[in-house]
Every structure is written in structure tokens, then in C-alpha cells.
Amino acid sequence: MKQKAECPLYTVGMLSWVEIDATALRNNLELFREKVGDKVELAPVVKSNAYGHGMMTVTGLCQDMADRLCVNSLGEAAALRQAGVELPIVVMGYVEQADLPELVSLDIQPVVTSLETLDRLAGEVVRQARTLKVHLKVETGTHRQGVPLRELQPFVLKIKASPGLELEGLSTHYANIEDTTDHSFAMAQIATFGAARKAVEGWLGKPVPVCHTACSAATLLLKETHMDLVRIGIALYGLWPSRETLVSCREEGGDLPDLRPVMTWKSRIAQVRSVEEGSYIGYGCTYRTTRESKIAVLPVGYNEGYDRRLSGTGHVLVRGRRAPVRGRVCMNMTMVDVTDIPGAALEDEAVLLGAQHDEQISAGQLAGWCGTIAYEVVTRVNPTLPRIVVNPGH
């Protein structure tokens, strides 16, 4: 793969940047390899700019350990092919009818959930004199994508009757695995999936090569979900899918996997100024100093992905200590209180997400402050900020 920069808008004057810990990423993937054994495929999920970590950067770092890649859109898959990635790529999201010829010519595996798409693909592989491996998605309880068992037969018969199409995979996705420590809904989904698999294999007259259902939480918690391939997203980036997943894992006993966060988001102080007691800070005058204070300006705001809900709530790290956000987060700037951080000075490094000395601000903590989940926090870091690989190991 040609290692290209993650194409920031500007190549000079970057006021904040994302560091990607290569060793942590590979450690996380190795941990999953150990967990699932040699016979199960590992499919890193690199959709949404690899959950904000940089799709090209992450793919470059882990493709030698991956069996397949999962993305959301054909655009993402095409970008990977353009960069020279030859691994099988599965597009999990919708591909528009007009884009199906491109999908066939790039040899990207779709997850099919409609007969219209399947018919078009059957025609297209003939037209291009190519073959294509497709996956079918079974509805088992999410009611998002997926074909219910009672509607599956025509899909299978169509594939069977189309010389250029091959049923490579049968998949589903769990509805209620991250949000609870009770896995009965997931177990019911596994049963529904099993029934669909049996029916499909009956119609097809042979086994489906790759059955896959597991996301990170399922892979961590339920061995019976592993089947032939696991789709690892959030945990690849060293983040627990949820507190409930962590609690469930802990309750099961055994060793907790040592997931290591991959992303650190940094900036530098752009100004430090003393402010008198009783002064207002920022838009809306939502914070008033209660003492003479030292207020630092960080050149990062909600445009860069620093959520406006962190106004008056979040903290950043400066010199290994917490500096609380004062007043509102602006579009490109945020004010923080460094009164209690001796020596805090212009162009000191500030950590918005990640560790500095002995302190840490986790994606989970930022998510808690914002009323969201760690997935959204990392995914929203503006893709135009540079992703820089650190800690390469050897």
C-alpha cells in the first residue's frame, strides 16, 4: 500500500493533531487474534475514517494482520483500492444502484439486503465478465438492514442461478449487546441466525463459507458469536464498547483484555493571560472568575471536533494536570483555566484526549461529559487534522 498522508486541508499551520499509537493498535489486534484463534478471520472495521483515527493510517498499520476489511461505503472501499489495498473488502452499508458497476469492477464485496440490488449485480457481473462474492444479511432483531428468514429464499435462489455471483457470507448484527449485561436478546438473535443459516444452506445445497455476526462486544463476551469471522471496530482502537461490556467481561472472571487506546489528540496553548477576579469568559458570559485567574486559549473548538457540550464541563491536560474548560467552547477556540498549573506557558502542549504524564482524559470520560458514547467522540475528530503515527515499535 502506498503510504500517503491523510490529506489535511493545509500542510502548514496545523493547530492541533492526532497521534496514532502504532504499537497499541497492533497490540489490540493481536489480542483479538489470540481470543478467536487461527481459524476465525479478523476483519478490522475501518469505516468513518477508522472511527476518526485515519482510514489510510490505520489500514497501513494493521493490514498484514487482517484477513479482510470492513467499511461502510463504496467510497471508502474505492479509496482503499486506490491506495493499493488488495485485501478483500466488505461494504456493510448501502451502495446506490448507479454505483454497482464500480463495485463489481473494484471487486468489493457487498452486503446485500434487497432483490433489486441482487438482480442488478447478477446482470453486471455478466456484462463485465467477472465474478463477485456477496454477503447476505439476516434480520434477527435490529430491524435496520437485513432480510427476514421468510423472505430469504429468492435471494439464495437468485445467487445460485447466477454464474458470476457467489454467496460468500451470511451475516447479522446484534441489537442489544453493548447496552446491557443481560445477553438474552443476543442469544435469541444467535438462534434466529442459526435457523436462517440452516435454511440458506439447504437451498444452496452447500455450506456458506463465512458466517459472521460479531462486533467488538460480541467477540469479547460470547464465543458462540465468533463463527468464521469477527468484525472488530471500537476495540481495535483500544476503547471498550461500553461500561456494561467491561462489567460483563469482569464478571466472567479470567483476564481482562488489555485494550490500549490508540488516539491522543493534542494542541498547543495559543495565549496565556491573567484575568481579574469577577471577569466573564467567552460567549454568553456563562463563566465568571471567582479569583484572579490565568486563562489559556487553545486553538481548537467544535469545528475541530471538540464538542460544544464540553463548555464549562470538560478538562484538558497541561503539564500533566487538569485544566478545566471555562465558558463556552467556540468554533475554533476554547478557554481553559491554568491558574493552578505553575509555569503553564505559550505553546505548551495540551492534551484534549489521551494521556499526559500520569493523568488521562479518556474517550469514555469525554463521552460522559457530552451525553454520548466513546464511538462518537473519536469519530467526530475533524478528518482534516493530521494523523501522525507514533510509537512504531520496530
Ligand X SMILES: *Cc1c(COP(=O)(O)O)cnc(C)c1O
Polymer length of the chain: 394
- From the CB of 212, what's the least distance to ligand X, in Å? 8
Using rule CB under 6 A, residue 344 touches ligand X: no
Positions in 141-200 near ligand X (CB under 6 A): 173
The span of 24-32, 229-237, 276-284, 298-306 binding ligand X (CB under 6 A) equals: 229-237
Which residue of 53, 231, 315, 326 would you call a contact of ligand X, by CB under 6 A?
231
Using rule CB under 6 A, residue 233 touches ligand X: yes
- From the CB of 337, what's the least distance to ligand X, in Å? 35
- From the CB of 112, what's the least distance to ligand X, in Å? 13
Q: Where are the beta strands (DSSP E) in the chain?
A: 16-21, 41-44, 69-71, 89-91, 109-112, 132-137, 165-171, 210-214, 229-232, 263-268, 271-275, 280-281, 287-288, 293-298, 315-318, 321-324, 334-337, 349-356, 359-361, 387-390
DSSP letters, 3-31, are ------S-SS---EEEEEEHHHHHHHHHH
Quick check: 300 and 15 in contact, CB under 8 A?
Answer: yes
Distance of CA 162 to the CA centre of its chain: 34
Q: Give whichever of 68 and 173 is closer to ligand X, judged by the CB atom.
A: 173
User: With contacts defined by CB under 6 A, how many residues of the chain interact with ligand X?
Assistant: 13
In the structure, how many helices (H) and strands (E) does the chain have? Answer: 12, 20
Using rule CB under 6 A, residue 248 touches ligand X: no
Using rule CB under 6 A, residue 216 touches ligand X: yes
Q: Give whichever of 181 and 279 is closer to ligand X, judged by the CB atom.
A: 181
Task: For the beta carbon of residue 283, count every other beta carbon within 10 angstroms.
Answer: 12
Q: Write out the three cell numbers for 293.
A: 485567574
Task: Give burial (CB, 10 Å; 0-12/13-18/19+) of 66.
Answer: buried
Q: Write out the three cell numbers for 378.
A: 473519536
- From the CB of 234, what's the least distance to ligand X, in Å? 4
Q: Write out the three cell numbers for 184.
A: 438474552
Q: Give whichever of 302 and 375 is closer to ligand X, judged by the CB atom.
A: 375
Which residue of 95, 234, 298, 318 would you call a contact of ligand X, by CB under 6 A?
234
Which residue of 232, 269, 296, 377 would you call a contact of ligand X, by CB under 6 A?
232
Q: For residue 36, what are the CA distances in angstroms to 90, 218, 238, 346?
A: 20, 11, 17, 48
Nearest to 265 by CA among 360, 391, 351: 351
Amino acid identity of 264?
T
The residue with its CB nearest to ligand X is 233
Using rule CB under 6 A, residue 352 touches ligand X: no
Using rule CB under 6 A, residue 215 touches ligand X: yes
Nearest to 315 by CA among 270, 243, 370: 370
Using rule CB under 6 A, residue 241 touches ligand X: yes
- From the CB of 213, what's the least distance to ligand X, in Å? 9
Q: Give whichever of 170 and 217 is closer to ligand X, judged by the CB atom.
A: 217
Q: Give whichever of 45 and 167 is closer to ligand X, judged by the CB atom.
A: 45
Distance of CA 312 to the CA centre of its chain: 28
Identify the DSSP state of 143.
-
Using rule CB under 6 A, residue 222 touches ligand X: no
- From the CB of 231, what's the least distance to ligand X, in Å? 4
- From the CB of 43, what's the least distance to ligand X, in Å? 9
**From its phi and psi, is residue 371 left (phi > 0), alpha (psi between -120 and 50) or beta?**
left
The span of 20-28, 121-129, 228-236, 307-315 binding ligand X (CB under 6 A) equals: 228-236
Positions in 31-50 near ligand X (CB under 6 A): 45, 47
- From the CB of 64, what's the least distance to ligand X, in Å? 20
Using rule CB under 6 A, residue 316 touches ligand X: no
Positions in 44-103 near ligand X (CB under 6 A): 45, 47, 92
The span of 123-131, 227-235, 281-289, 329-337 binding ligand X (CB under 6 A) equals: 227-235
* Catalytic positions: 47, 283
Q: Which residues contact ligand X by CB under 6 A?
A: 45, 47, 92, 173, 215-217, 231-235, 241
